[in-house]
Structure 1
Amino acid sequence: MATIPLRSLIGDLDPAKCKLHCAVFNGEEYPLDVLARSSDEWMQWSRWRPVRDEFNRQFIFSLAQDRDRGTHWLFGGVFEVLKRRPKPLSYSYDLKLRDDLMGPFIKRLMVSFRPPGRQMRMNLDTHLDHIAVLSIREHTYAGETFPGHDRINHTFGTLEVAIKQDWHDWRGALQGMKGVYVIHDQETGKGYVGSATGDTGIWARLSEYVAKLHGGNKGLVELVGQKGPEYAKANLRFALLDYGPMRTPDEKVLERESYWKDVLLTRKFGNNKN
């Protein structure tokens, strides 16, 4: 099947007036998560000026890199540069979303593109014919599809998006489940084992972690207090060790929690204090 060039969808947009912004993981957050979570936060990614005035054209054509496929990108909209200040390493661009320019494709259009080298900001007209349409989603992107209970291995930053955006497939899969989980600090390798019991379920427990980042656990309270919330969002990863329906007796869940603490040595080397 012949590829569909992006050029066929841009309408009246003049590529010679556009800079292409290919947003990638910044060490803390994935651009897809930001785009799904907040339009204002997403715009901030294009407001940032590095040392050079990279966005020196009238428009910015923004793309968010896919989590797993580096050549796949989700369209994030066209921004008009209303004002630019000469201050580098700062949010020096004042922008406005031009939803009259390809607005219906925002968070729906997925394209394929391999940027040359490590360039993330470049002239759109130079590279437009190397960008191909992959798909157009039926609905706007609202977050990652639930991967399965045994495939959860996500940072608090990603889970924050899932909770606040109320990803329905995630909530449906987790709100009626009890379980034992582990939270690892990916910088130090230290783990914390906890459980979701009672009538709240795993989804409600995750909501507590998103709200305060420590869930009231002493070891994590200390960690978040020392490292700060941004560190916690970027480096604390959540995974399920055991899970079962709400009819599972709490005693069995707590027994498994203690078992996993012993197996993973989280009392001796991790963040469990009991």
Structure 2
Amino acid sequence: MLRHRPKEPKLARVLPWLAAQRTDLFDAYQSCQGPVLEVSMSKLPYVASFIAHGPGRALFVGLYSINEPTPYPRADFWSIPGYAELRSYGMDGLAETDPRQSILKFDLRLLEFHQEWRGKLIVGWPPPERSWWRRAHQNKMPVLAILEDSALEPAMPDWTELLVTWAELSVLPRRWCAALSEWRGIYYIRDTSDGRGYVGSAAGAENLLGRWRDYAKTGHGGNRLLLDRCPDTFVFSILQRTSPDMPREDIVKLETSWKIRLGTYAPAGLNDN
């Protein structure tokens, strides 16, 4: 039994989202393990996968069959399928103290076993907390709850509290996407590398969702002063929501007002008009 609890904060935040809608990346994440667990998995037919859901609690993702692994030389670690993208979510990779020169990537295949409980079943995880993998027959995992809705896709936070990195734009939970597709408004992009900001507006197809998806694809959204910047350090937020029937010219006036108030016109900021 695995209770995934990434030490990397960015990866810990998005791992449930990956389990819900980017199963290829979630499976890639759990397909390579440390030296001790690698040996154990080589001898076992199945693994039950969970994600940490608070202290002493684990959220069920699924039961996987363990199939023939593929060895990768240590030097090729980041060429393992999916790992380059996981790196953008903060995955650190192999520790310098890891002695292995060859890494096994297990072929894990999700089974139909109680998939109706995926993201809903919460079990107790006995201490110690740091022991993130266990042998099922040696532990008792009491059922604590079976939720009505999947906890892999959390509810949308209040728009005033929403902060999303550029890497996260492509894996936002479905409920978040549904809300953003209905919201028009003024948004802000902060480049955390130097603190400079960009103000924009969204009132076209799919509203904020459509605009932010442009940034997810291109990294710059067609904005000249963002072209030469690395989007990995961009953080997106909403400054103001507007009425669905607000005329476009009024939205542009609001956008201009925010640019002036926040001082985002070049050279201090990243707006060039």
Q: Considering the TM-score relative to the shorter chain, is it more than 0.5?
A: yes
With over 3 angstroms needed to count, the CA separation of the structure-2 counterparts of 1:104 and 1:248, relative to structure 1, is closer
With over 3 angstroms needed to count, the CA separation of the structure-2 counterparts of 1:208 and 1:158, relative to structure 1, is same
* Aligned equivalent of 2:229: 223
* Aligned equivalent of 1:133: 143
With over 3 angstroms needed to count, the CA separation of the structure-2 counterparts of 1:36 and 1:186, relative to structure 1, is farther
- Paired residue secondary structure (2:66): strand
User: Which has the higher mean CA deviation after the structures are superposed, 74-83 or 182-191?
Assistant: 182-191
Kindly indicate whether the alpha-carbon contact (under 8 Å) linking 2:189 and 2:198 is maintained by their aligned counterparts in 1: yes
Kindly indicate whether the alpha-carbon contact (under 8 Å) linking 1:20 and 1:122 is maintained by their aligned counterparts in 2: yes
Identity rate of aligned residues, in percent?
23
Measured in 1, the distance between the counterparts of 2:73 and 2:63 equals 22
* Aligned equivalent of 2:125: 113
Measured in 2, the distance between the counterparts of 1:213 and 1:133 equals 43
Unpaired runs of 5+ in structure 1? 1-18, 225-230
With over 3 angstroms needed to count, the CA separation of the structure-2 counterparts of 1:85 and 1:218, relative to structure 1, is same
Q: Which of residues 10, 32, 37 is equivalent to 1:54?
A: 37
* Aligned equivalent of 2:58: 73
Measured in 2, the distance between the counterparts of 1:250 and 1:218 equals 22
Measured in 2, the distance between the counterparts of 1:31 and 1:42 equals 7
Amino acid at match of 2:119: K
* Aligned equivalent of 1:184: 190
* Aligned equivalent of 2:87: none
Q: Deviations over 1:49-79 (max 9, x none)?
A: 33x141313132212234xx45543212122
* Aligned equivalent of 2:156: 146
Q: Which of residues 148, 153, 158 is equivalent to 2:168?
A: 158
* Aligned equivalent of 1:39: 23
Amino acid at match of 2:203: T
Q: Deviations over 1:19-70 (max 9, x none)?
A: 42424264543210110122222111111233x141313132212234xx45
Q: Which of residues 254, 257, 260 is equivalent to 1:259?
A: 257
The TM-score normalised by the length of structure 1 is 0.71
Tell me how many residue pairs correspond in the alignment.
239
Measured in 2, the distance between the counterparts of 1:270 and 1:120 equals 45
Deviation, structure 1 residue 216: 1.3
Kindly indicate whether the alpha-carbon contact (under 8 Å) linking 2:122 and 2:144 is maintained by their aligned counterparts in 1: yes
Measured in 2, the distance between the counterparts of 1:199 and 1:82 equals 44
Deviation, structure 1 residue 134: 3.5
Q: Deviations over 1:205-261 (max 9, x none)?
A: 12322332321122322213xxxxxx62xx432211011112213233222222322
Kindly indicate whether the alpha-carbon contact (under 8 Å) linking 2:192 and 2:234 is maintained by their aligned counterparts in 1: yes
With over 3 angstroms needed to count, the CA separation of the structure-2 counterparts of 1:28 and 1:152, relative to structure 1, is closer
* Aligned equivalent of 1:93: 105
Q: Deviations over 1:108-135 (max 9, x none)?
A: 3233437635443444445x33x44343
With over 3 angstroms needed to count, the CA separation of the structure-2 counterparts of 1:160 and 1:100, relative to structure 1, is closer
Kindly indicate whether the alpha-carbon contact (under 8 Å) linking 2:65 and 2:111 is maintained by their aligned counterparts in 1: no
- Paired residue secondary structure (1:82): strand
Measured in 2, the distance between the counterparts of 1:200 and 1:101 equals 37
* Aligned equivalent of 2:271: 272
The TM-score normalised by the length of structure 2 is 0.72
Kindly indicate whether the alpha-carbon contact (under 8 Å) linking 1:105 and 1:136 is maintained by their aligned counterparts in 2: yes
Measured in 1, the distance between the counterparts of 2:199 and 2:217 equals 19
Kindly indicate whether the alpha-carbon contact (under 8 Å) linking 1:21 and 1:46 is maintained by their aligned counterparts in 2: no
Unpaired runs of 5+ in structure 2? 81-103
* Aligned equivalent of 2:2: 20
Root-mean-square deviation (CA, aligned residues, Å) is: 3.1
With over 3 angstroms needed to count, the CA separation of the structure-2 counterparts of 1:31 and 1:221, relative to structure 1, is same
* Aligned equivalent of 1:11: none
Measured in 2, the distance between the counterparts of 1:240 and 1:98 equals 37
Kindly indicate whether the alpha-carbon contact (under 8 Å) linking 2:183 and 2:242 is maintained by their aligned counterparts in 1: yes
Amino acid at match of 2:17: D
